[in-house]
Amino acid sequence: MSLLTKLLHFVLIISKKCNIDESHGLSHSMNVLHFTHNILENEKKNYPYLENQEKIIYVSAALHDMCDKKYVNEKEGICKINEFLEDKLDKKEIDIVTKIITTMSYSTVKKKGFPELDEYQMAYHIVREADLLAAYDFDRCMLYNIHKQTESNKDQDIKLLDAFNDAHELFQKRVLRHHIDRLFVTDYSKQNYLPLQIDAIKRIQTWKRLMKKPLI
């Protein structure tokens, strides 16, 4: 079984055990992996040494939400990740993966800034920015809010408008400001965020029209 297969299987198992919903589970990990690949291949032109850091980069991308504080105790999540990786990476590699995934969240960056990871600084930015690019998926943000509703009110109906409004507010305050807030440092992200942002705005407008249709 390839490492990639093992990584995705681990994400699937942990997501089920910890009730990590689809907005941060396997589908999201796969999307982040794709953006990671695109950014990495582009950045290799400027940073050839990234070739030797591929395993760390892809492992971090796949597992980054398996210790998310919204779902699990971060320390317990990291322990599970480290146990899973102990026969797949050496100790230094595991330490770097841990540093990347515990410092890359939007809230952590806004509060503390970027960490100093020396020769792994660009690896960090690649994974972090892949997650930011994946965040332009407006439906994913709505899904998170829908799942959050069902967790707190299992016997009540889903309030789609509330899920939309919460997602829309987050996009206005955070996602649509990624470039303005200078969160992108790689050439790939700077060149490719705008089409994703435009698609997100179109998606928001479509949802607005959908929810106003009297027959549905």
Q: Phi and psi for 156 in degrees, rounded to 5?
A: -105, 160
Q: What is the mean pLDDT of residues 196-207?
A: 98
Instruction: Give tens-digit pLDDT for 142-180.
Output: 999 999 887 766 656 778 999 999 999 999 999 999 999
Q: How far apart are CA 216 and CA 212, in angstroms?
A: 8
Percent of the chain scoring above 90 in pLDDT: 92
Instruction: Give tens-digit pLDDT for 106-153.
Output: 999 999 999 999 999 999 999 999 999 999 999 999 999 999 887 766
Residue 125: the pLDDT is: 98
- Nearest of 107, 113, 83 to residue 97 by alpha carbon: 83
Confidence of residue 215 (pLDDT cuts 50, 70, 90): confident
Residue 154: the pLDDT is: 64
Give the angle subtended at the CA of 103 by the CAs of 116 and 193, to the nearest 5°: 95
Let me know: does 58 contact 4? Beta carbons within 8 Å: yes
- Nearest of 161, 166, 169, 171 to residue 197 by alpha carbon: 171
Q: What is the mean pLDDT of residues 194-207?
A: 98
- What is the residue-averaged pLDDT of the chain? 95
Percent of the chain scoring above 70 in pLDDT: 98
pTM: 0.95
End-to-end CA distance of the chain: 46
Residue 63: the pLDDT is: 98
Look at the alpha carbons of 32, 131, 3, 69 in this order and tell me if their dihedral is positive or negative: negative
Q: What is the mean pLDDT of residues 75-86?
A: 97
Q: How far apart are CA 147 and CA 174, in angstroms?
A: 20
Let me know: does 101 contact 57? Beta carbons within 8 Å: no
Residue 158: the pLDDT is: 77
Look at the alpha carbons of 181, 111, 28, 168 in this order and tell me if their dihedral is positive or negative: negative
